[in-house]
Amino acid sequence: MFDSYHWKVLLFTHTGELREPFTPLTNEEENVVDSALDGANSREELVTHESSNIVITREILQCLRYGAWLNDEVINLYLELLKERERSQPNKFLKCQFFNTFFNKKLISGSNGYDFKAVRRWTTQRKLGYSLIECDKIFVPIHKEIHWCLAVVDVKDKKFQYLDSLGGIDIMVLRVLARYLMDEVKDKNAKQIDTSSRKQEVVDNLPLQKKNGWDCGMFMLKYADFYSRGLSLSFKQDDMTYFRRRTAKEILQLRAE
């Protein structure tokens, strides 16, 4: 019997649009993931991502097991891999900026809930090699105590989006990012832009997390993955077990596909 992602591989083989996001793991890849998710020797270092200095130990990778909440290390490394994927195939993927899980915490760390200076050096030309207004989309992970959401600055279509797998709403996040984009463009590009009239959208036609409380981080990563491909969010919660194992595979090979 085929599960949901196997059916999608069959249905979209001819169009190619959705084939890659749902490609099943080979038997060999399944065995590698099973071995890595074995909790024995938890301090063993499985992979090190040199440019970000993120080290994934066997213990850290356990967050990709069924029933676990994703941690900062796995989320941040996966986002790094999405950026590297884009750089290696710029004609295939949208030009994006993937901020890590600490960016929003720094941005809202000021006494008034906003501190541009705290993140000003995150986006220098020397660090990125481009300015944010050259991007199609900017992804910002949002952590709400025990829940992950995603904010998207859609530079190309001039709007701000908030995606919450539990259907939550937080317009303040979008207002902060609207202010940030104005300050960022003024600082890095010496231009004045007005974001006050840009649409601030809580996306409601998105796959929702209805069956448990721990898949929010995986939903967040897949929102970013699919959007960076220019795809609609054509997955559901039943795909999360597959996505967890696929993410483990991609982290172990230090390459997002």
pLDDT digits (tens, 9 = 90+) for 10-29: 344 334 456 789 999 999 99
Whole-model pTM: value is 0.92
Q: What is the mean pLDDT of the chain?
A: 93
Residues β-bridged to residue 200: 160
pLDDT of residue 18: 60
Lookup: tokens for 103: 């960016």
Give the three-class secondary structure for 77: helix
The catalytic site residues sit at 147, 164, 216
pLDDT digits (tens, 9 = 90+) for 32-41: 999 999 977 8
pLDDT digits (tens, 9 = 90+) for 145-195: 899 999 999 999 999 999 999 999 999 999 999 999 999 999 999 999 999
Range in 17-31, 66-80, 235-249 with the lowest mean pLDDT:
17-31
Give the three-class secondary structure for 162: strand
Do the Cβ atoms of 250 and 82 come closer than 8 Å? no
Task: Classify domain 4-253 at the CATH class level.
Answer: alpha beta
Question: Among 195, 145, 151, 147, which residue's Cα sits nearest to residue 172?
Answer: 151
Indicate the domain borders of the chain: 4-253
pLDDT of residue 10: 39
pLDDT of residue 190: 98
